[in-house]
Amino acid sequence: MTFDVRRLDIYRKVPKDLTQPTYTGAFISICCCVFMLFLFLSELTGFIATEIVNELYVDDPDKDSGGKIDVSVNISLPNLHCDLVGLDIQDEMGRHEVGHIENSMKVPLNNGYGCRFEGEFSINKVPGNFHISTHGATAQPQNPDMTHIIHKLAFGESVQVQNVQGAFNALGGANRMESNALASHDYILKIVPTVYEDLSGRKRFSYQYTVANKEYVAYSHTGRIIPAIWFRYDLSPITVKYTERRQPFYRFITTICGIIGGTFTVAGIIDSCIFTASEAWKKIQLGKLS
């Protein structure tokens, strides 16, 4: 005698002639399918989409940078000649450069009366400052006009991701054209190391920063001090990390199975309750007629 494998079937089939279709059951079935389709598309959208998770920790994320931070600056001084504009860099490690010109460019504005300064340079990971001034000029002007517009001031690699709202270029668009022409400008920056890791595991090291600013006319015992545009910076010990993540496939399949099973189960209970109540009501009506 051979063993019939069909005995193991836990999904026994009911002949069609023993089932009874109803309008209520059809309506519930249609609603059930529409509901499952909606939930399936919602889960599929969530599975395809990339989630960005952020975390904070105390560490230097870019240990291979040699203790340097790349800086990119783009600033317009519409009332100061390019021959007078220069970049100076200082920090607490003893660095002091006047008239830094490497990887920099000056573009004349207003028929040569103004200047746009663009530059890329590196700073050490210690407190310090860099400033736009006339200190490196051969002859100092009497009344240099430091009114300006900052187009860009960014640190590290560029991070332009739609779902990351960070202050990577917090001073971009800053307009000081209505300021006192003889005033110095101080921008105090708190630089926050930032890491962005995409799905492939590639890391980009950038820096966000917060900023406070003031303007003033400075004097000494010899008279008024030549104005400048100062960017004084310090580094935060806190690192912000953004990580791209996608929902695991097994979790997506588990959720879909839960949606299908749960919807069929609930729909079956609702249909059974409605059918039972309908049959009971018919029996009551027949009892009243007899």
- Are the CB atoms for 134 and 140 separated by under 8 Å? yes
Question: Are residues 261 and 200 located together in one domain of the fold?
Answer: no
pLDDT at 248: 84
What secondary structure does DSSP assign to 228-279, as a single string?
-EEEEEEE-SEEEEEEEE---HHHHHHHHHHHHHHHHHHHHHHHHHHHHHHH
| pLDDT score for 90 | 95
> 66 and 195: one domain?
yes
Total count of domains within the chain = 2
User: H or E element: which one contains 31?
Assistant: helix 23-48
- 112: helix, strand or coil: helix
d(CA 12, CA 25): 21
Pairing of strands 203-216, 149-156: antiparallel
**Segments forming the whole domain that contains residue 37:** 21-48+247-280
Residues 86-121: b if buried by 16+ CB within 10 A, e if exposed? bbbbbbeeeeebeeeeeebebeebeeeebbbbbbeb
Determine, yes or no, domain membership for 74: yes
233 and 261 fall within a common domain: no
Helix (H) or strand (E) holding 69: strand 68-77
Same domain (yes/no): 148, 267: no
Please name which of 272, 183, 185, 178 lies closest in space to residue 219, comparing C-alpha atoms.
Answer: 183
Splitting the chain (290 residues) into consecutive groups of 10 residues, what average pLDDT does each group show?
70 69 82 89 85 84 84 96 94 91 92 94 94 88 92 90 79 93 94 90 90 90 86 93 86 88 86 82 71
Residue 34 inside a domain? The answer is yes
Judged on CB neighbours under 10 Å (0-12, 13-18, 19+), 35 is: middle
Residue count of the chain, please give it.
290
Same domain, 156 and 94: yes
Q: Is the dihedral of CA 179, 181, 183, 184 positive or negative?
A: positive
- Residue 269 phi/psi, 5-degree rounding, is -65, -45
CB proximity list for 57: less than 8 A, separation 6 or greater = 238, 239, 241
Same domain? 229 vs 132: yes
Looking at the domain assignment, is residue 178 inside a domain?
yes
Asked if residue 227 belongs to a domain, the reply is yes
DSSP, collapsed to helix, strand or coil, labels residue 1 as coil
Can you give the pLDDT at residue 230? 96
**Residue 6 confidence (pLDDT):** 73
Question: Are 208 and 113 within one domain?
Answer: yes
pLDDT of residue 215: 93
Angstrom distances, CA of residue 58 to CA of 237, 243, 252: 6, 16, 34
Report the pLDDT value the prediction gives residue 179, as an integer from 0 to 100: 92
pLDDT at 244: 87
